[in-house]
Structure 1
Amino acid sequence: MVCLTEEPTETLYAIGEQDRIVGISGFTVRPAIARRTKPKVSAFTSAKIGEILKLQPDFVVGFSDIQADIAAELIRHGVEVWISNHRSVEGIVDYIRRLGALVGAAGKANAYADGLQHGLDGIAEAAALLPRRPKVYFEEWDEPLISGIQWVAELVRIAGGDDIFPERAAESLAKQRILEDPMEVVRRAPDIILGSWCGKKFRPEKVAARDGWQAIPAVRDNELHEIKSAMILQPGPAALTDGVGAIAAIIRDWAVRHG
């Protein structure tokens, strides 16, 4: 198998099927051993088609319509390709089950997915006991401002907060989540700002210095936090474990201080 994105790699390692993997995405960071030991044959919007063909994969797994051209080129070379297009928490859990079934490891994948769902349920139960729910602005990029995608907004809710741009979260493409007016964040007055700038470090001081943003409760109270992009911006296991865990910890601490 060749994995064009990180989430199938992380999933296959988690269920003990890592020996099937012969190539991975160059953006893969989880698990660390995959990055050290597996050939890197793709980015996100591009891939080394010749190198993939040399590996003679029986199956290639990718994600989203953005990889449609890569998939089409591989299919023209006779390679079997599966492109998933999930954008929700439920979709991530189902994706793990389907990937396991496709590689003949349905039992292990279902058990793993059940464990992830149990963990999410536990976080939601704990969040229900919090004295207050904060309003949360999740920023996926800063130039231009891009708000969080669906699974991120859902994880914020599971962790005890309310995403301030739920209507944007329903949009699958980043360009549809661009905030044309930065003052809209000011008007929606988030209590917490979470930054996860894909591929670069979140700079809370730059956020706080934006024109008019000093009026935002999160800026006033210094509630600007980074969530590492590797643990939240890919629709795979990391988001349902470390990602939501980091969000829940921030919200829990806020609730204790502001309850």
Structure 2
Amino acid sequence: MGVPTSGGSAVHGLRFELLGPLRALRDGAEIPLGPPRQRAVLAVLLLQEGRPMSYGSLVEAVWGGTPPAHVRNLVQKYVSGLRRALADDGPQLVWTGSGYRLGGTVVADLRERRRLVDEALAARAAGQLSRARDLARQAEELWRGEFAEGLRSPYLEAERLRWAEKRLTVLEERLAGEIELGHAFEYVHELVRLVAAHPLRERFVELLMLALCRTGRPADALAAYEAARQRLSEAMGADPGPVLRDLHTRVLRQDATLLPPPAVLPVH
């Protein structure tokens, strides 16, 4: 398979996606990839980006340290099934002598996300906050569910955690941009929900406090800090980190940079 064009299509008409359930689209139509373990084998090989993976490493990645006794037969069966499923589109799943290699492929949504995030970071560094916000939102919209959703394997479960962190980091940066652009009021409720869903994640507490201050609610910002301090103490025996503590001090001192912008009086 060739490299996707900028629109995400592929030269041979096959597009792989992993930001959600694994799927392969041939000219826009999803193709069957077989049973869950076979799909897990494909997902693991796709993530090697064309590098060979030894038989032992593949078995450990898909089944962990206690594979079934007939695992060699299963690997051969799943590799044959994938070769049949992908045969019309150019990707080559071969045994190199040292491992299995899936060549001529790219995971389109991962590559598109990487490009969007890189462009968002560059736009933010250049002070183009609206463009950075829009690019980050486009990166978020590529997600269709959890990473490789529904596939069970030690390797993919570790990758799922790593990509969940990446997803939250981009969300945090987009929300920070929204607050900087003066949209704090619209995002207070979303931040309250995110703090409840991730109670030990200090960045969401920081953003909630900023949004509350920017909407004229410093007392609520202090309450949000105190609630976070208690959660951290009970769960980890720790105090909030320096960023959150510094923000708390600034709120107590009524730092003018945290206050809502002055109202603009209408001209008569």
Alignment TM class, shorter chain as reference: under 0.3
Larger strand share, 1 or 2: 1
Structure of greater Rg: 2
Larger helix share, 1 or 2: 2
